[in-house]
Amino acid sequence: MLNNNVKKALKEYIEQGCISNPEDYLFKSRKGSGPITGVQAWQILNKAASSVGIKERVGTHTLRKTFGYHAYQQGIDITLLQKVFNHSTPSITLRYIGITQEDIDNVYVNLNL
Assigned domain for 105 exists:
yes
- What's the confidence (pLDDT) of residue 47? 94
CA–CA distance, 5 with 40 (Å, rounded to integer): 24
pLDDT digits (tens, 9 = 90+) for 42-94: 999 999 999 999 999 998 889 999 999 999 999 999 999 999 999 999 999 99
Q: Give the total number of structural domains in the chain.
A: 1
Assigned domain for 6 exists:
no
User: Three-state SS for 111?
Assistant: coil
Assigned domain for 97 exists:
yes
CA–CA distance, 89 with 92 (Å, rounded to integer): 5
Q: List Cβ neighbours of 84 (8 Å cut-off, separation of 6 or more).
A: 68
Q: What is the dihedral of CA 95, 97, 100, 103, to 10 degrees?
A: -150
Assigned domain for 42 exists:
yes
Assigned domain for 71 exists:
yes
Assigned domain for 61 exists:
yes
Assigned domain for 43 exists:
yes
